[in-house]
Every structure is written in structure tokens, then in C-alpha cells.
Amino acid sequence: MVQSLIFDMDGTLFQTDKILELSLDDTFYHLRSLNLWASNTPIDQYRKIMGVPLPQVWEALLPNHSNEIRKQTDAYFLERLIENISSGKGALYPNVMEIFSFLKENNYKIFIASNGLVEYLQAIVSYYHLDSWVTETFSIQQIPSLDKGELVKKIIKKYDITNAAVVGDRLSDINAAKDNGLMAFGCKFDFPQENELTQANFVMDDLIELKTILPKFENNISY
């Protein structure tokens, strides 16, 4: 039976903080230049909600702005993120490529399911050549409800997956696993909330731990 691992991107595979503050500063500098923002970049507020779909991000960070301004801000932010990724200012977490190689050598299929937008995810996959290991990358944009559980369900259905686990750092990842009857492996890296990770089946400090975790759960990650 083919095993499958469904990974989150931000805070799990990609160290988003490397480009987050830079891209947010670029964006809010742009808003200030248009007289649409008067204070500092709300980086701390964004860290608290990181992992939710971007439309929800702008509702939280720009509560008094129109939907049109939020859409324009979202587009500008995406441009800055992609530019910073393409310029090599981001980074994968330690051992991503090593664990991907291990998984492929052991006949695991690898997928990415992220709340990030398609262009953003493609920029990361392309820059780090992740498609050498990843079967397919899925964006929350593909799901009208913006529900990560539905996104994972889409992967399961498309690839007829019967044995899998979700690897991620936020409650949306854990719930996506549970909603689909999968195991949830939590990542205690940069952005997790302790109360969220307690709901995972196992919590890691480094992705390399998957080498020892997977054999323990191999018979218990069936859909």
C-alpha cells in the first residue's frame, strides 16, 4: 500500500518569517505612501494569525478599509512575497530535502496543501525545485469554502489515497487531518500555538523526526 504525507507550507516547510517582515514592511510602506495607513507595520498581529487564508488576514489587519483596498493590498503583498522568494531571501526549514529524499526512497507520496495562493506556492516550489519530490501542490484557492479540510479531501479523492497523515503547525492542519480521518503530526517551529499542537497525534521539533515517527504510526494512518 502506498503511504502519503500531506505537508503544510508556511511554518512547516518554508521559513516564512525570513520574508514575512520584509514583505509586510514593503506593503505597509506602500499603504503609507497612499495615505491609507499611518502607524507601524502590524507584524506581531500577523504572526498571531499566520496560517489563515489571506482574505481573512486583510480583514484582521485592515478592519476599517474597504474590500477593494484589501484586494489591492493582497495583490501588492503577493508581488513582494514572490519577488523576495525569487531573490533567495527565504529559506526552507532544516532537513526538508533530506526528509523528502527519505520519503521518496521509501515509496511515500508527498503532497503540499497550503492556505497560500497558487502563485506564491509555485514560486517556492520552483525556487527550491521541490517538484523533484512533491507529487502535486494544492492551494486553498482551489476550494471555494477556503476550508483546509476540504482541500485535503480533494487530494484524497484525486489520488485515491487510503493511507496518509497531515504534517503542519497550526490548528487548521490538525483539523484538516481529523476531518478526513487522518493522523496529524504537529510542527513546533516558529508560529505554532501550544494549545493547538496538543491536539496533534505527535509533535516534532524537526522534520527529521519523521524518520522515527512514521514506523510507529505506519499501521494507524489509514483513511
Domain limits, the chain:
3-15+91-220, 17-86
Q: What's the pLDDT score for residue 149?
A: 97
pLDDT tens per residue across span 10-52: 999 999 888 988 999 999 999 999 999 999 999 889 878 876 7
Q: What's the pLDDT score for residue 54?
A: 80
Q: What's the pLDDT score for residue 159?
A: 96
Q: What's the pLDDT score for residue 3?
A: 87
Looking at the chain, the whole-number percentage of residues with pLDDT higher than 70 is: 95
Average pLDDT of the residues of the chain = 91
Q: How far is CA 219 from the centre of its chain?
A: 26
What would the grid cell of residue 168 be?
Answer: 503542519
Q: Where are the alpha helices (DSSP H) in the chain?
A: 17-33, 43-49, 54-61, 67-86, 96-105, 118-127, 148-158, 171-179, 194-197, 210-217
Q: What is the spatial distance between Cα 51 and Cα 175, in angstroms, rounded to a whole number?
A: 13
pLDDT band at 192, cuts 50/70/90? low
Q: What's the pLDDT score for residue 1?
A: 45
**Contacting residues for 70 by C-beta, under 8 A, at least 6 apart:** 55, 58, 59, 62
Q: What's the pLDDT score for residue 221?
A: 58
Burial environment of residue 88 by CB neighbours within 10 A (0 to 12, 13 to 18, 19 or more): exposed
Residue with cell 505597509: 28
Above 60 in pLDDT, residue 124? yes
pLDDT band at 197, cuts 50/70/90? confident
Amino acid at 181: G
Above 70 in pLDDT, residue 108? yes
Above 90 in pLDDT, residue 113? yes
- Rama region for 144: left / alpha / beta (φ>0; ψ in -120 to 50; rest): alpha
pTM of the predicted structure, to 2 decimals: 0.87
pLDDT band at 216, cuts 50/70/90? confident
Q: What's the pLDDT score for residue 220?
A: 58
Looking at the chain, the whole-number percentage of residues with pLDDT higher than 90 is: 77
Closest CA to 171 of 194, 155, 189, 190: 194
In the CATH hierarchy, which fold is given to the domain comprising 3-15+91-220? Answer: Rossmann fold (3.40.50)
Q: What's the pLDDT score for residue 92?
A: 97
Q: What's the pLDDT score for residue 40?
A: 93
